[in-house]
Structure 1
Amino acid sequence: MDLNFSIYTTSLTLESLDLPPSNVFPAFIFVTLTYCFILVFNMTVLLTIALNRKLHKPMYVLLFNLPLNDMVGATAFFPQLVSSLLSQSRSITYSACFVQALLIHLYGAGSLLILTAMAYDRYIAICCPLKYNSLMSSSNLLKIIIIIWILDFSLIGLLLALNYRKEICSTKIVEIFCNNPSLMKLVCGDTKLNNYYGLFVIAFFDGLSLLIVVFTYVQILITVVVKRQSDAKSKAIQTCGTHLIVFLCFQFTSVFAFIAHRIETTSPSLRQAFFASAIIFPPILNPLIYGLNTKEIRQNFIFLFRKVSSTKKNDKLSGMKR
């Protein structure tokens, strides 16, 4: 007979990190610095776009959403991991676990939707340049951003809500962090509806985004080849090539991680590695690839940095004169 546990009085146990005592402190330093770097890199991109009116264009407004989303994912994962390393405890309350899972899935779905919107923007800019200003007007851009976040919050919110129970039949989380599949394994009774809806959400986000991205990049490739302009080719390859690589890598790691939960023979370590990589690497690489590697953002960042440095220097000189 299954035992029922109340979510209000029972703590959950996350999968062990399997770190020897001698490696705990180095791991704590590494994780903390990684989280700090993620915040600094993404805040740099955010501030650079926000404080420069020249960057208030559709492409950069869409890009503005990416570091915001990346910081949500990183904040859902890293602080809890730091806390575990400090306390040497893998216990977590159900409410904290639920919030972590919600934020991580909002981050994952949000990444796919934002990258898809960016691909659409590049498609319009390269394939329909004369219609760009009308198709990507301020009102249409606002609609795209609203649709992104409504889809993200509504579908992911319902996904996690289906797993919410006042009583659960297990307290063991089979991952190093909380997510929807691990929460679903705590549920008592039949979870067919959860499974079916979870598969629908995966198919919707991954299938829709993959379809749109493949279509847009095929059209971009055709347009570039037909135009036969070397500068257009190099710009398209540089802008779209890195975007496509990042998108496909994120697709592969996230899809494999979720499918692995449904294949019992999959190595837990391999599954956890894919899950963790989908959370850790994009928030580090995205600001470098889409931010500082973009000429306009890099130039404006340098200008902003020099302006701030000059202001501090003038203030210091003024203070010395007084």
Structure 2
Amino acid sequence: MITALIGIVIGTGLSIQTAVNSQLRKFVISPYLASMISFVIGALFLTIISLLIGSPLGISWELIENEPAWIWLGGVLGVIFLTVNILLFPKLGSVQTAIMPILGQIIMGMLIDNFGWFHSMRQAFDSYRLIGICLVLLGVFFAIGIQEVRHRHERSNENNLHLWIWRIIGIVSGMLMSTQVAVNGQLGVVLDSSIQAAFVSFLVGALTLIIVVGVKERSFAKVSNPIKEKASWWVWLGGFLGAAYVLINIYLVGQVGTGQTVVLVLFGQIAGSLLIQRFGWMGSQKTKIDWIQIIGLIMILAGVILIRMF
């Protein structure tokens, strides 16, 4: 029960991180720069935590040589997911930007569990898990996707092929997110430390984005824009929330497996998104929550229980 609650809480934190980073982008303009700030702050936060508890920061070269290359790529996968989400928003809108990666996360999470990819805990795909996944997908539609159907007539005609390309990109980014969960989980096992694994993941992500921003933007001057324009203090919280998300995810994968971790986080992510929408937190637009969205959350919870208990 406590494990499930932790997964839901960090999922809620992930939805808050998305809202925070969206606001940060308004000040720094570049989605890559916004992602870089988030990862650098997260890496610094994890460095401080590691030093305080005496967790090692360095990794032996022998360990790097003996482990598969993919085990060090969790940070790169996180960079792709975070940046793609920022890019998707103006293309698809908030609803589809949420639902497409979620679909990818569910699909990949169950595949990883069923086949034991990335040395994950293997959990066979049985009828109970199938019913649970169907309930989760239907719940996602009720909680998020139904708004898209209701307001479809309000949108002007757009190039469907162009939109479907972005939708597929969103699904793939969600699959990469589930892969990151599994990869970082195995890294935590290899290093025998969730904190060190989270630090490595964020450090790799931060260095990757520093290089990307240096090549693409050729300037880091806009980093100071939020300070110059007196942005709210919480625009800097994305990195802390992201670090907590990765750290706790690594722990949860070892306890309940990749698939269940993804679904628990998914429930928290949707619940958090609806709360942000209802109360207009983090500068987002305030929108009333429909009763059918509540039904969607209940269906997701039922699916989570089926997947966890059987």
Global fold match (TM > 0.5): no
> Higher relative CO (CA 8 A, sep ≥ 6), structure 1 or 2?
2
More helix by share: 2
TM normalised by structure 2 equals: 0.30
